[in-house]
Amino acid sequence: MKTGRIGKFTVGLGLVIVCIIVIRVWLVPTIEQILVTTPEIQQNRLSSEEIPDFSSITDIPTKKQVFFDYMAPAVKHQNAIITAERNFLKGLLNNLENGQTLTQAELFKLKNLTARYNYPVKKFDEVSLSPLLERVDTVPAKMVLIQAANETGWGSSRFAKQGNNYFGQWCFSKGCGLVPKSRKPGLNHEVAAFDTPEDSIAAYMLNLNTNAAYRLLRSIRADLRAQNKQPSAEELVYGLLHYSERKHAYIDELLEMLRHNKKFLAGL
């Protein structure tokens, strides 16, 4: 009798294990697929990919195309995240306009959003929150890619290779990044280091959307939105006047790069 019971127990345990394996094989990949294909929650597109050795590509047109092809998915991903945030904010403003009370979940998400975009607000109402739309907005992919190419020499700079920094962003605590070889005595800034290229893209976009130095860029973009126009790289690039000490010469250079690389940026 004992042997029979043990046998039944073993068979039952075996069936449970088989069920677990089936769930692992069929269900988990489905969940992972959802995470990858849903724009708002898809995982870092560049974190698991090997970064091309851009400096080893001697053919210039090939280097440009490889650079854009590698960076573009992450730019689109970050813009998808921002679009989801913007849609949430627009829906919330519409609800407030219609006299609806915000739910606890909406308030929680809204507090995180205002903190992320460095937008202090005392009262969550339509008047106070409407200006936040100027910050929670996308950045034209063409401008992002051209600026990354300009700042890194098509991905070949030391800061891109060693710190995944594609936009020359600075940080100010010791050890936060890479010390510039040309840093003047008495200065303490470093060029920020990121875990992945996409982290650099995300930080760059947030910088444009929050830093007072780029208020003009956000104003140009908001004006275009008010006219029901899609902001373009050629229009928003003028808002980068304070991105470089070279000012207007920097803007002219970016505009020239946009013109010369149209065929590589087609479809973006």
Q: What is the DSSP track for 76-144?
A: HHHHHHHHHHHHHHHHHHHHHHTTPPPPHHHHHHHHHHHHHTT---SS-SHHHHGGGGGTS----HHHH
Tokens of 80: 């998808």
230 plus 256 within the same structural domain? yes
Q: What is the mean pLDDT of residues 116-133?
A: 95
142 plus 209 within the same structural domain? yes
Backbone angles phi, psi at 95, to 5 degrees: -65, -40
Give the pLDDT band of residue 23 (cuts 50, 70, 90).
very low
* Contact status, residue 68 vs residue 76, Cβ threshold 8 Å: no
111 plus 7 within the same structural domain? no
Q: What's the pLDDT tens digit per position in 223-232?
A: 999 999 999 9
The total of structural domains in the chain comes to: 2
17 within a domain of the structure (yes/no):
yes
83 plus 149 within the same structural domain? yes
117 plus 207 within the same structural domain? yes
Task: Name the residue range of residue 165's domain.
Answer: 55-264
The answer to pTM > 0.95 is no
Residue 57 has pLDDT above 80, yes or no: yes
First to last CA, the chain: 72
Residue 177 has pLDDT above 90, yes or no: no
Residue 7 has pLDDT above 80, yes or no: no
212 within a domain of the structure (yes/no):
yes
Q: What is the pLDDT of residue 110?
A: 97
16 plus 124 within the same structural domain? no
